[in-house]
Amino acid sequence: MSWYVLQVLTGSEDQIKDALIGKGVHAAVPHELRVLRSGGRWLEREYVVIPSYVFVRIDYTDSLYYVLKGTHGVIRLLKDGIRPASLLPEEEEWIQSWEQPLLPSKVHFTQGGAYEIIDGPLAGENVKLLKIDRHRRRAKVEINILGKPKIAYLSLDILKDF
C-alpha cells in the first residue's frame, strides 16, 4: 500500500476524509494544535496543517480511482504524468504521525536570538524552516509533497532562554 494525495475543496477536508473512510478507504488529514492568543491568554485549537489536501493509503487500481473521484468535494488526484503518483518514501515517513494532531514543536531560544529545535514536527527531515514568528508562536515551513514544496504554518512551544 502507498500514500496518494487528493486535492479537495478547501474547508471540507474532514468531511471528505470521513466520506472516504465510510467507503473503506484509509484517509488522513494532518491537523495541529495551534497556539493562539485570545483574551489575554494562550489557547490551543485544532487546525488543518495543509489545507485542500487529503492523504489516502491504498493499493491503487483504476476502479478505485472512480471511487475516489466520485466522492463529493474531491477535485483530483495528484499525478506524475498520466497516472496518480504515490508519495516518496521520505515523505511517507513524516506523515505516519498524522493520525493524531501534531503538537507544537519545542524550541529553545538563546539570549542572542539563536534557536534549537528540541522535538516536534519541525524536527522532521521533510520540513524546511523558513521563518519563525516568536510573537505569534508560529513557524512558516516548506513541506515536500510529491517532491514539490508546499507552504504551511506550524505552532511553536517556546521554552525559556538558556
pLDDT at position 162 = 47
* Assigned CATH topology for domain 2-159: Alpha-Beta Plaits (3.30.70)
Q: Where are the domains of the chain?
A: 2-159
| 137 torsion bin: left (phi>0), alpha (psi -120 to 50), beta (else) | left
Q: What is the pLDDT of residues 120-138, one digit of tens each?
A: 777 766 678 888 887 888 8
Residues 141, 125 contacting (CB under 8 angstroms): no
| Best CA proximity match to 29, nearest among 3, 58, 51, 62 | 51
**Average pLDDT score over residue span 104-117:** 74
pLDDT at residue 38 greater than cutoff 60: yes
For 6-56, the DSSP string reads EEE-TT-HHHHHHHHHHTT-EEE--EEEEEEEETTEEEEEEEESSTTEEEE
Mean per-residue pLDDT over the chain, rounded = 82
Distance CA 3, CA 50 (A): 15
**Percentage above 70 pLDDT, the chain:** 93
pLDDT at position 30 = 85
pLDDT at residue 19 greater than cutoff 90: yes
